[in-house]
Amino acid sequence: MSHSTSVPLARSAADHAYAFARAFNTFDPDVLDQLYEPDAGFVPRPGHLVTGADRLRANGEFLRLRVPIRVTPRHTYVVGDLALLIVDFVIDGIAADGEHVHIPGTATDVARRGPDGYWRYVIDNPFGVAHHVGAP
C-alpha cells in the first residue's frame, strides 16, 4: 500500500545514496524499489543475494522497523555508466515495536546510469565486507 508514488532519482552517481535515503525514509517498499534496476540484486545479509519479489520483501523487512536511515557517502568511482559507491550508513532509533534499533554499516554498491539519465542500483550490498551483522 503506497502512500507516495515516487521520490526524485539521482542524476549524478554521487547523489544516489541521498536519493536512496529519501526513498528508504518513506518506509514504502514500492517507493524504495524505484531506486533499483528491474533485475537488480540486494544483499540483506552477507552471502545472500536476492532479486525481484525477494528483493522487495527483504527491503520491506528493514522498512517495517520504521526507523530512518542516515547516509554518508565515502567514495564514488564512476566509469562510463557504472559506479561503485562506498557509503557509510546507520539505521538508529526506536522501532515500531518500541525496541531500540542500531544497524550501522558500510555499503559497497554498484549503480548504473540508465538511458533516462538516472542512477539505479544494480547491486545493493549494504553490509559490504562485514562478516556478521545484526540485521533483521
Give how far Cα 56 sits from Cα of 14, 35, 72, 131, Å: 24, 11, 24, 23
Model confidence at 2, pLDDT cuts 50, 70, 90, reads very low
For residue 4, is it within any domain?
Answer: no
pLDDT in tens, 61-94: 989 999 999 999 999 999 999 999 999 999 999 9
Please indicate, yes or no, if residue 135 is contained in any of the structural domains: no
8 A C-beta contact, residue 110 and residue 81: no
55 domain residue, yes or no: yes
Supply the range of the domain harboring residue 35. 13-124
Domain total in the chain: 1
- Rounded CA gap, 30 and 121, in Å? 15
Tell me, yes or no, whether 111 lies in a domain: yes
Please tell me the predicted confidence (pLDDT) of residue 50: 97
Residue 70: how many CB atoms within 10 A of its CB? 14
Comparing C-alpha atoms, which of 71, 72, 70 is closest to residue 93? Answer: 70
Query: Residue 19 is part of a domain; what is its CATH number?
Result: 3.10.450.50
Tell me whether residue 57 is in a domain. Answer: yes
Q: Given this model, what pLDDT does residue 3 score? A: 47
20 occurs within a structural domain? yes
User: Is residue 31, in this structure, part of any structural domain at all?
Assistant: yes
Residue 43 lies in a domain: yes
pLDDT at 120 over 60: yes
Whole-model pTM: value is 0.88
Q: Which amino acid is at 107?
A: A
What pLDDT is attached to residue 1?
Answer: 41
